[in-house]
Amino acid sequence: MINLAEGLVKRGNEVLLLLPSSDGKAKRDIINGVQIQQTNSVGLKFWHPDAIAAIFPQAIVQKTIDEFKPDIIHIHDHYPLSVCVHRYARKKKIKVIGTNHFMPENLAPHVNWISQNKTAFEWVMWKWMLNLFNQLDAVTAPSRTAVNILRKNGLRTPVCPVSNGVNLDRFHIQQPFDSKEWRLRYGFDTERTLFLFVGRVDGEKHIDVLLHALSHTKNDNLQLGIVGKGTDTERLRQITRNLQLEHLVHFT
C-alpha cells in the first residue's frame, strides 16, 4: 500500500492514506509526499501480532474525506474502517474501488475453533467479504485465477486482474553475481540443490508440507530455505527439529 501511494505521488497525484494507528492514537503526518491520517485504534495481538482495529472511526473518516475531497477512494479490505469509509463515500457520491487480498484461508489458522467446519466457515467468510465488495464501483485482484475465485464465490461487481508490479530499480540481479558467496552468507550449503520459500510465514501458507516432503525424500542433496517472518515460524522450527532436518532447513 505504501509503495502504491508513493508511486502515485511521484506521478503527480495527491494521495492520503487512512488507517488504524499503530500506537492507538489518532495522528496526521506527511511521509514522502503521502498524507497519512491514522485513527484511534486497539491492538488485537491476542489474535494476530499485526492485527489492529480502528475504534469508532466515523467522525475522523467524515472529517478527513470532507477536507481532502478525494476524486476516488481505494480500499484494500472489508474490515470495519473500510465499511465506514465506503458508507460515507456513497453519501458523498465518491467512486470506490477495492483490491481484494482476502481468502478465508488467511483467517482459518487464527480461529481454529470456528474454522473446523471448512464448508460453513468459508461460506460465512465469503459472505462477509462480498457484502461490501458487491457494493463497490469496481474491484481488482492480483491474478486471473484470483478474479475467477471471486466470481465463483458470488462477486457481481466489475472485476479485472491487475498484477503486483516489481520495481526493477530495487530488485535485479547484481552483476557480477556470485551464487556461492550469497549461499554462504545465508548459511546454505553451496553444493546441495536449494529450494527457497520467500513470503509471509503464516499457517495458511502450509510450509509444513515442504518440511514433510523433504523428510520423505530422504535425500541429503536437497535443502530448504525459508525466507520471511510470521506467526508460524516457531511451529515450523519445532517440526524441523522433530523431523531431524536442522542440517537441511535454514530460516533466514
Digit-coded pLDDT (tens) for 193-234: 999 999 999 888 999 999 999 999 989 999 999 999 998 999
Evaluate if residue 175 carries a pLDDT over 90.
Answer: no
**φ/ψ (deg, to 5) at 215:** -65, -40
Residue type, 148: N
Cell of 206: 502450509
Instruction: Give the pLDDT score at 228.
Output: 95
User: For 187, what's the count of Cα atoms within 13 Å in the CB-facing half-sphere?
Assistant: 11
Q: Contact, 223 vs 192, CB < 8 A?
A: yes
Evaluate if residue 29 carries a pLDDT over 70.
Answer: yes
Instruction: Give the pLDDT score at 115.
Output: 67
Instruction: Give the pLDDT score at 67.
Output: 97
Cell of 241: 527439529
Evaluate if residue 111 carries a pLDDT over 90.
Answer: no
C-alpha–C-alpha distance, residues 251 and 61, integer Å: 41
Kindly report which listed range (64-68, 161-165, 215-219) carries the lowest average pLDDT score. 161-165
More confident residue, 167 or 158: 158
Percent of the chain's residues with pLDDT above 90:
74
Q: Contact, 107 vs 115, CB < 8 A?
A: yes
SS (H, E, C) the chain: CHHHHHHHHHCCCCCEEEEECCCCCCEEEEECCEEEEEECEEECCCCCCCCEEECCCHHHHHHHHHHHCCCEEEECCCCHHHHHHHHHHHHCCCEEEEECCCCHHHHHHHCHHHHCCHHHHHHHHHHHHHHHHCCCCEEEECCHHHHHHHHHCCCCCCEEECCCCCCCCCCCCCCCCCHHHHHHHCCCCCCCEEEEEECCCCHHHCHHHHHHHHHHHCCCCEEEEEECCCCCHHHHHHHHHHCCCCCCEEEC
Instruction: Give the pLDDT score at 226.
Output: 97
C-alpha–C-alpha distance, residues 65 and 168, integer Å: 34
Instruction: Give the pLDDT score at 131.
Output: 97
